[in-house]
Amino acid sequence: MRKVAELHEGKAKIIYSTPDEDQLIVYYKDDTTAGDGAKRAQIQGKGPLNLKISTYFFELLAENGVKTHYLETLNDREMLVRKVEIIPLEVVVRNIAAGSIAKRLGFPEGEKLPRTVVEFYYKDDSLGDPLVNRHHVLVLGAASCEEMDKLEEQALLVNSILEPHLLEKDLILVDFKLEFGRTKDGEILLADEISPDTCRFWDRQSREKLDKDRFRRDMGGVAEAYEEVYRRLSEK
């Protein structure tokens, strides 16, 4: 499959049209951002690592009944996907307190939450992707009640598949962000990516951070952390 025209360039990926109107090519860049784009850098090799890790997770989820936009990996930077209209909501699943929930609710970072939390954030960079509730989502017209139920159900299903699988790889799934899209027929598919850019992964024993927090917090070793995640996933 070949690229026809660039449709959109985001912070970490470029989307291209293809000769098939129902398929797109996603190009994974080395660009890294934090703080809604306020902090930027290029991390050599990050794009191919995120592509390989996302491929791994999309294939794992498909084997377990989760429908995604993923079709195939074309090369070390490009993925062929089904065309969807992205629902303007980030669906965040939290198992352990970290990041914003620790600040907002006062949980110490690293504390296991009494139950898994699902949150919706409205995708709008100009507003800072605010946390929203179901009433806000309806007022914004971002999704219907039925769609929100579907997003939450699918997010929890993804969590139930990934969390035990990652523990087998000595990785703790702290939290993660998902995005979903609608096909032209209205089917909702898991989209975007699943990688250390969109998930918090900690080492099971040491709790060392192996994700984008290393960039956010100027810890260094970002590429090495991503490489370690992929190494563990690819081991039999």
Domain of 120, CATH number, reads: 3.30.470.20
pLDDT interval class at 34 (50, 70, 90): confident
Is there a domain that residue 229 lies in? no
Q: How far apart are the C-alpha atoms of 173 and 207, rounded to whole Å?
A: 11
Of the residues 19, 49, 82, which one is the last residue of a structural domain? 82
Percentage of the chain beyond pLDDT 70 is 99
Q: How far apart are the C-alpha atoms of 54 and 235, rounded to whole Å?
A: 16
Say yes or no to pLDDT of 37 above 70: no
Residues 132 and 155 grouped into a single domain: yes
Q: How far apart are the C-alpha atoms of 171 and 209, rounded to whole Å?
A: 10
Residues 70 and 102 grouped into a single domain: no
Residues 46 and 138 grouped into a single domain: no
Domain of 55, CATH number, reads: 3.30.200.20
Residues 107 and 60 grouped into a single domain: no
The DSSP-derived string for 117-181 is EEEEEE--GGGT--EE-HHHHHHHTS--HHHHHHHHHHHHHHHHHHHHHHHHTTEEEEEEEEEEE
The continuous run of DSSP H or E covering 56 comes out as helix 46-63
Residues 98 and 211 grouped into a single domain: yes
The continuous run of DSSP H or E covering 14 comes out as strand 13-17
Starting at the earlier edge strand, list the strands of the sheet with 13-17.
6-9, 13-17, 23-28, 78-82, 70-73
Q: How many domains does the chain have?
A: 2
Looking at residue 1, its pLDDT comes to 86
Is there a domain that residue 1 lies in? no
Residues 71 and 26 grouped into a single domain: yes
pLDDT digits (tens, 9 = 90+) for 44-101: 999 999 999 999 999 999 999 999 999 999 999 999 999 999 999 999 999 999 999 9
Residues 90 and 185 grouped into a single domain: yes
**Residue in the structure block whose two tokens are 């990688």:** 195
Residues 101 and 70 grouped into a single domain: no
Q: How far apart are the C-alpha atoms of 102 and 34, rounded to whole Å?
A: 18
Q: How far apart are the C-alpha atoms of 99 and 180, rounded to whole Å?
A: 22
pLDDT digits (tens, 9 = 90+) for 184-222: 999 999 999 999 999 999 999 999 999 999 999 999 999
Looking at residue 38, its pLDDT comes to 76
**Are the C-beta atoms of 180 and 91 separated by less than 8 Å?**
yes
Number of residues written out for the chain: 236
**Are the C-beta atoms of 12 and 26 separated by less than 8 Å?**
no
Is there a domain that residue 226 lies in? no
Mean pLDDT across the chain, nearest whole number? 96
Say yes or no to pLDDT of 140 above 80: yes
Q: How far is CA 181 from CA 81, 206, 222, in A?
A: 12, 36, 29
Residues 64 and 151 grouped into a single domain: no
Is there a domain that residue 69 lies in? yes
Beta bridge partners of 176: 93, 199
Question: What is the residue range of 172's domain?
Answer: 85-221
Widest pairwise Cα distance in the chain: 51
